[in-house]
Structure 1
C-alpha cells in the first residue's frame, strides 16, 4: 500500500488482523492483513443502488420529509433487507429516532430503537408493499372482467350472462363463472335476510 501512494500514505504501520478499506475511483475494496500478505474479501458494507453507503456512526445524512441532519446509530436486517436507526444531529435526545430503509426511504419513527413493536411495524410495511407490487386476490380475480383497474372492488362484475360458444363448444370457464355468480347472489341474499330478521 505504501508503494502505491507513498506521498498520501500517512497512517501507522499495519498489524496482523487489521482490516483496510480503500475507495479508489468509486470502487471500494476490503483487505485483511495476514502476516505475509493482504487478503482481498468482499467487505462488510451494504452498497446502495446509487453507489453510496449508509455508514454506522456517520453524521450529516439528510432524509426526505425529515428536518435537520441525521446520524446512523444502529442497523438491523429484517426479512433480508437492511434498515438503519438514525438520530437527529441537532437534537439527539429530544426527538424520537427514525428507521430508514437502506435506500434512504423513511419507514417509521421510534423512541426505543429496534424493539419488537418497531420490527413488527417494518414487517407490516414490507408485507403491504408486497401486496402493492403483486396485487391482491381480488385484483387477480377481477382484472380480466373489470373495465378499469379503479373498478376492482371485490365483486366480480361484467360476467357473461350465458356461456360463449368457442369452436362449437360451450366455454367451461364461462359456465363456472356464471354458476359462482349465482351462488354468491344466493348467499348474499340469505345473509341480508338473516340481518333483517335479527334487526326486527
Structure 2
C-alpha cells in the first residue's frame, strides 16, 4: 500500500535544539548548527496528495507552523525533510537517521574506500526509501568531476549516478535495488506462476498425484478431485449405426421402362428382356 503523509516537528526547548528556535535557514547554516530529530518534538500528522509538494503543504498549514519547524514527507515510502524558514521550505538531510544495526556509513563518513573505485570518498547526502537508508558518496579529490556512488547503509553498491545526486533516475535505481522484481515484471510473474503450480502439485498427496496424473489435463488441475477423469467403456454411448438403404439397380429400372413402353405401344416385349426379368426375380 502506498503511503502519502506528512508530519510536523517543532523545536524542543528542553534540549540542545533550543538554539534553533526561530532561526532562519541561512542563520542555521551560518552558525553550523545540527538539525536532528532528537532536538524536536512531534506536533501533527496529516495526509498529503500524491502530487503535493512540500511548498504546497506548507502553504496549506502555514498558520500552524513556526520558523525552525521541520516538515517530514513520506511520499510512497520516500522520506524527505524540509526546514521551514521565513520564505519557503528548504530541503535538509540528516534530520532523521534510521540507525540500522551493523551500518558502516553515516552522514559524517569520510575517507571511505569503495571496491572497484580508486581514491577516498565521503558522504554528502542520504535518502530513506521504503524504510531503508541510502547514502550518496562523492570523490574527495575530484568531487563534481567524478561520478557519484550510491551505497546502502551496509556499504553495498547500489548504483552510479551523476552530479544530480538523488534525482528521479537515481531514485528509480534504488527502487529497483530494493524491489528487483519490478525491473523484470513479466519474467517474475512467469516464475511466480510456475512456483505456484509446483507448490500446488507437491501439496497434494502421493495418491492424488498418481491417481490424477493420467486423467487431468495438466498439473494445475491436480487438486485431490478427479475433474477430468476419462470415461469407462460402459459410460461411453456410441450412436446406433443405421442400416444403409438398399440401392436399386439402374439396369433393372431401364429394363422395366423398356417393357412398359413396349406394352403401351402394343408391340411384343423383346425376348431378351423377358429372360432378364425372370433371372432377376429368381435371385430374390
Give the structure-1-normalised TM-score. 0.47
Larger Rg: 2
Normalised by the length of structure 2, the TM-score is 0.35
Whichever structure has more helix as a proportion of its residues is 2
Higher relative contact order (CA 8 A, sep 6+): 2
